[in-house]
Amino acid sequence: MTPFTYDLTGDIHLFSAIAALIFGTTVLIIPKGTPRHRRLGYFYSGAMLIMLITSFMIYRLFDGFGMFHFFSVVSLLTLTAGMVPVIIKKPGQWVVLHFNFMYWSVIGLYAAFVSEAFTRIPQTPFFSMLSIATFLVIGAGFLIWFRNKEKWSRQFLNLQSKSKS
């Protein structure tokens, strides 16, 4: 039987990914703008950063920079784009920008998790399972997004206007 991880880097990558899944899911569910939301959001960002750093140290699958490293770059950009508005807090729609990028950061993490799980199903084609898993999760994320984006935008703009008063 092949282990899930092969070394300490893999262990750190796995455990930080699990932590990011837990924190990211919780942050999406709980009320926004609370001290708990902010604290767990920083935990999510930290866990993601650790996971992404370790992802660039894993080269077994492609013996070099591969498509998962490309997606790690995309994830790092999404995470950064979600945190910059929080740090800068430029007047305007910073809350909406923050939510938009962080939502897709978590959805991307779900896609990576489901893809990883699907590719571990014995005797299945790797790239087919990867494609199916990614399509299903991103598709579900888009469906939820488009059904709720107007409502969410109004909520976050209201939250932002309350924080100014």
User: With bands split at pLDDT 50, 70 and 90, how would you rate the model's confidence at 1?
Assistant: very low
pTM above 0.85, yes or no: no
Report how far apart, in Å, the C-alpha atoms of 118 and of each of 92, 133, 138 are: 41, 7, 15
Residue 76 has pLDDT above 80, yes or no: yes
Q: Is residue 2 part of a domain?
A: no
Mean pLDDT of 155-162: 69
Q: Residue 125 and residue 121: Cα distance in Å, rounded?
A: 9
Q: What is the pLDDT of residues 7-63, one digit of tens each?
A: 888 899 999 999 999 999 999 999 888 899 999 999 999 999 999 999 888 766 566
The reported pLDDT for the residue numbered 115 is: 85
pLDDT tens digit string along 101-145?
999 999 999 999 888 887 777 888 877 887 888 889 999 999 998
Q: Is the pLDDT score of 5 beyond 90?
A: no
Q: How many domains does the chain have?
A: 1
Domain extent at residue 20: 8-164
Exposed, middle or buried by CB within 10 Å (0-12, 13-18, 19+), for 47? buried
Gap between the Cα atoms of 94 and 101, Å rounded = 11
